[in-house]
Amino acid sequence: MTAAVVSRQYACAKCPLRARAIFREFTAAELDYISTFKTGELTVDKGATVLVEGAHSAHLFTVLQGWGFRYKLLPDGRRQILNYVMPGDLIGLQGSLMEEMRHSVEALSPMLLCVFERDQLQDLYRNYPGLGYDITWLAAREEQMLDENLLSVGRRTALERAAYLIAFLHHRAVTVGIGTRGIFAIPVTQQHMADTLGLSLVHTNKTIRKLINAKLIRWRDGGCQVLAFEKLTEMAGWSPDLEEKRPLL
């Protein structure tokens, strides 16, 4: 058993995630509506596939807890990780809007998801245009992240790429409030890193080792921990955008 639907835990208004500073305030009416839109919660085991390429998903999800990643495969099995998902992110939008999903999503850790019905999406746009706008905003944000990733894979050196990726994930996690109590681990293996960076496992390992030896990161608790965020961003030639408040569906 890799996934299980659980009954509603709490109303959206009381969602602990929503209280975090990065998310914008919703009106009471919006919260009520979202509560209707939400049909349940879903827990997913680490390693389980949340959404699979080719399917036409009947659901949309908001991540409440845990990490996952989006990826695509070539016919012969080569894998490219496109982006990571973490609390507050919306997944499955493509599968809801288009005929079918063009990528898959897998859980990196146990995940807790909020489930929405695809069929209610039209209704949402009609009754709460502001929320529709929010969904577009979230899609534009995803595009922004992909742009930066593509720049990285296409034009940064292996070392810059690794530094960028780690800094990027760390920054997102901190922004959304993961590991506010000190150092936390990004729950990936070096194989995941390799498939994100567009490098082989062996070369990824050698590259990451340089970052470890330079004491910019360490590898512990089944993942990657950041020790010197600034040095990573500098190495990558990247500066994080200042984060505006964002919607949470």
Partner DNA sequence: CGCGGTTTTGAGAATCCTCAAAACCAGTGG
Partner DNA sequence: CCACTGGTTTTGAGGATTCTCAAAACCGCG
Which residues in this chain contact its own copies in the complex, by CB under 8 A? Answer: 70, 72, 74-76, 78-80, 82, 93-94, 97-99, 102-103, 121-122, 125-126, 129-130, 132-133, 135-137, 139-144, 146-151, 153-156, 195-198, 237, 241-242, 244
- Residue 181 interaction partner, one of DNA, its own copies, none, beta carbon < 5-8 Å per kind: none
What does each C-alpha distance from 242 to 19, 22, 127, 224 come to in angstroms?
20, 11, 31, 24
Is residue 239 at the binding interface for DNA, with CB under 7 A as the rule?
no
Q: Quick one: which of 169, 175, 172, 244 has its CA closest to 20?
A: 175
Is residue 73 at the binding interface for DNA, with CB under 7 A as the rule?
no
96 and 121 Cβ atoms separated by less than 8 Å? yes
Q: How would you class 174 by CB atoms within 10 Å of its CB: exposed for 0-12, middle for 13-18, buried for 19 or more?
A: middle
Is residue 210 at the binding interface for DNA, with CB under 7 A as the rule?
no
Is residue 158 at the binding interface for DNA, with CB under 7 A as the rule?
yes
Token couple for 82: 């496109």
Cα(216)–Cα(26) distance, integer angstroms: 39
Q: How far is the CB of 120 from its own copies (least distance, A)?
A: 12
- Residue 149 interaction partner, one of DNA, its own copies, none, beta carbon < 5-8 Å per kind: its own copies
Is residue 49 at the binding interface for DNA, with CB under 7 A as the rule?
no
Q: How far is the CB of 190 from DNA (least distance, A)?
A: 3
Task: Concatenate the DSSP letters of all residues of 127-156 into one string.
Answer: H-HHHHHHHHHHHHHHHHHHHHHHHHHHHS
Cα(210)–Cα(192) distance, integer angstroms: 18
- Residue 42 interaction partner, one of DNA, its own copies, none, beta carbon < 5-8 Å per kind: none
Write out the residues near DNA by the rule CB under 7 A.
157-159, 189-191, 198-209, 212, 219
